[in-house]
Structure 1
């Protein structure tokens, strides 16, 4: 699962190789602009971002504002979101965000010579859109990566990533539902917290 999400996050990074178009009401431009800011930082001071703290700080500052982390967390938990307490929901958003943070950082370090091809974006209902891309790899088949965005408050934000027709939200929902069924919501939160702590310590 981590490999799949890292591939998708790498696709978000590669979006920066396309021409930059700033338009708050254009979901494709949002993806491009976010990635371009990350790439500019890495190109300007790559040695600085070999440090995890600096790299993760860059992701929090530039990428996280473009992610609808609350909606993603809600959809990942599915029916379990409704039965979770407010405190459990808040903790899940925090722990799940930390997981995405580390995954994106991993993807940044994997960047090599891949290129990105944009396909026509699709409207997915009012306030929703899909930015369709293909990662072109020099040593393998192309990989389709779609970014699902929502506009709830005048800003386009990513809430799901679909890699080769496999949804990040659906995959995590299946994995976490099994854990919750076995160990309860607190059991899932403990697993996520322990995993994040072991990586960050």
Structure 2
């Protein structure tokens, strides 16, 4: 289960989602999820990545990120602490999370999704909410169930949570943030985020 546990850890820690007006308005929830996974899978990792491939990876991350909803997840994961932040602090928080997502979450997720073919179930839509279920068979983990939760806003479907084998990444992330904020403070959380970004760039 080590691979699955690492996958949960990476997504739980970095699944903060960045919204964009570039999302095509006519995409269905399943199409959004498919494009998201396809784009993430195209990110290449390794010790000998060329400058050209790094630039391609950056473009893939920029493309994938538009299918995700940052505003909702940012507010939900910080919970009561979100309202305590100034607009400038909120802006800094969002910017740091987007960098963590691009530099760490996407590359690590690509290792998991690259060789897997998703088997999509029936999408469930209730007004402005949707769930896209899928199953994947991993050579080490066996069958893995993933539910992508999306919401419709401004005519666009965006992912706001991922349920991996019944584990909510957004809730898991909130728990990790709260552990830092209840023990220390917001500046300490920011410091840790910046530290991880630096390591991800190394």
Q: Is TM > 0.5 for Structure 1 vs Structure 2?
A: yes
- Classify the TM-score, shorter chain: 0.7 to 0.9
Matches within 5 A, 1:158-197: 158-197=159-198
Provide the aligned length of Structure 1 versus Structure 2.
182
Secondary structure, counterpart of 2:184 in structure 1: helix
Q: Distance in 2 between matches of 1:50 and 1:37?
A: 17
Q: How many Å apart are 1:7 and its aligned residue?
A: 7.3
CA offsets 1:141-166 (integer angstroms, 9 cap, x no match): 21111111111110001111111111
Larger mean Cα displacement after TM superposition, 138-147 or 108-117? 108-117
Q: How many Å apart are 1:64 and its aligned residue?
A: 0.9
Change (3 A) 1:151 1:189: same
- Asked which structure has the greater RCO (Cα within 8 Å, sep 6+), the reply is 2
Q: Which has the higher helix share?
A: 1
Q: Distance in 2 between matches of 1:122 and 1:193?
A: 38
> 1:128 touches 1:150 (CA, 8 Å); kept in 2?
yes
- Structure 2 unaligned blocks of 5 or more: 13-23
Q: Distance in 2 between matches of 1:170 and 1:181?
A: 16
Q: TM-score, normalised by structure 2?
A: 0.77
Q: Distance in 2 between matches of 1:37 and 1:181?
A: 36
Structure 1 residue 33 and structure 2 residue 35: aligned? yes
Matches within 5 A, 1:127-146: 127-146=128-147
